[in-house]
């Protein structure tokens, strides 16, 4: 169990440090060319790289919503859920803390939003609470379907991290203007601690919506898409 928790800690650390770091350090300088799409790909790459690096140890969740969804889908032990949540939140906070130390070394540094999530005035596009709630629920549900599908018996072996990483990239391309993209309560909590915009007061949405979306996605997969998790026809005689 210790190795699993250590893997989840490091994976969530990398997700927050790499994903939010790309937004705070690289995207802050337009001349570097990373931009909106670059941040989206950075988040996808953090999950892809850590899924290959430590996914074989812990399952590569790096996200409390993913852990919950996998438990609902009977792919994860309920008894391990709370320990996973704890180390994911701590790992995310550690990533944000290291990022803060680096970012604060710049001249005239202010934390500002610190890559945090928000709705209303704290949404990048000033989207309403309802819009942000729906976006986070739907996108987290879709993310769970991608995860469960790409790791099922019917999927080609060895490619799940690529599908999951690209899935998270797509999610960010859709929702950065809406909520600055959470779909991950640990990621949202980590940066909200350092933000100076009141993001912590809106953090409840970025726990409620991803967790609800994860349950919905898991139930869709479990009840509609994969009864019995039967192997597909790829490579079989028809």
pLDDT digits 0-9 by tens, 51-68:
999 999 999 999 999 999
Looking at residue 227, its pLDDT comes to: 63
Residue 234 lies in a domain: no
Looking at residue 237, its pLDDT comes to: 36
CATH number at residue 177: 1.20.1080.10
Residue 233 lies in a domain: no
Whether 62 and 12 have beta carbons less than 8 Å apart is answered as yes
Looking at residue 36, its pLDDT comes to: 83
- What's the pTM value of the predicted model, to 2 decimals? 0.91
Residue 236 lies in a domain: no
Looking at residue 63, its pLDDT comes to: 98
Q: Enumerate residue ranges in the chain where pLDDT < 50.
A: 232-238
Looking at residue 13, its pLDDT comes to: 98
Domain boundaries, position 189: 2-226
For residues 106-134, b (16+ Cβ closer than 10 Å) or e, as one string?
A: eeeeebebbbbbbbeebbbeebeeebbbe
Among 174, 98, 83, which Cα is nearest to 136's? Answer: 174
Whether 115 and 180 have beta carbons less than 8 Å apart is answered as yes
Tokens of residue 142, six digits: 């879709």
Q: How far apart are CA 72 and CA 224, in angstroms?
A: 14
Q: How far apart are CA 141 and CA 139, in angstroms?
A: 5
Among 56, 161, 177, which Cα is nearest to 119's? Answer: 177
Looking at residue 235, its pLDDT comes to: 40
Residue 238 lies in a domain: no
Residue 52 lies in a domain: yes
Residue 129 backbone dihedrals phi, psi, to 5 degrees:
-55, -45
Looking at residue 183, its pLDDT comes to: 98
Looking at residue 65, its pLDDT comes to: 98
Domains in the chain: how many in total?
Answer: 1
Residue 92 lies in a domain: yes
Residue 109 lies in a domain: yes
């Amino acid at each position: 169990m210790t190795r699993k928790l250590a893997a989840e800690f490091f994976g969530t650390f990398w997700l927050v440090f790499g994903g939010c770091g790309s937004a705070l350090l690289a995207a802050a300088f337009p001349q570097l060319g990373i931009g909106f799409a670059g941040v989206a790909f950075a988040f996808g790459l953090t999950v892809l790289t850590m899924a290959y690096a430590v996914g074989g140890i812990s399952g590569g969740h790096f996200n409390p919503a993913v852990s919950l969804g996998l438990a609902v889908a009977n792919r994860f032990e309920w008894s391990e859920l709370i320990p996973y949540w704890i180390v994911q939140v701590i790992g995310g906070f550690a990533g944000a803390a290291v990022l803060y130390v680096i970012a604060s070394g710049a001249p005239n540094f202010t934390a500002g939003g610190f890559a945090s999530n928000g709705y209303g005035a704290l949404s990048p596009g000033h989207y309403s609470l309802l819009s942000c709630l729906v976006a986070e629920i739907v996108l987290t549900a879709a993310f769970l379907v991608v995860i469960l599908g790409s790791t099922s018996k019917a999927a080609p072996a060895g490619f799940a991290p690529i599908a999951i990483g690209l899935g998270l990239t797509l999610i960010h391309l859709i929702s950065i203007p809406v909520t600055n993209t959470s779909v991950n309560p640990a990621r949202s909590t980590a940066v909200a601690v350092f933000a100076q915009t009141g993001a912590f007061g809106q953090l409840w949405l970025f726990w409620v919506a991803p967790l609800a979306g994860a349950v919905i996605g898991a139930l869709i997969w479990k009840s509609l898409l994969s009864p019995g998790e039967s192997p597909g026809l790829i490579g079989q005689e028809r």
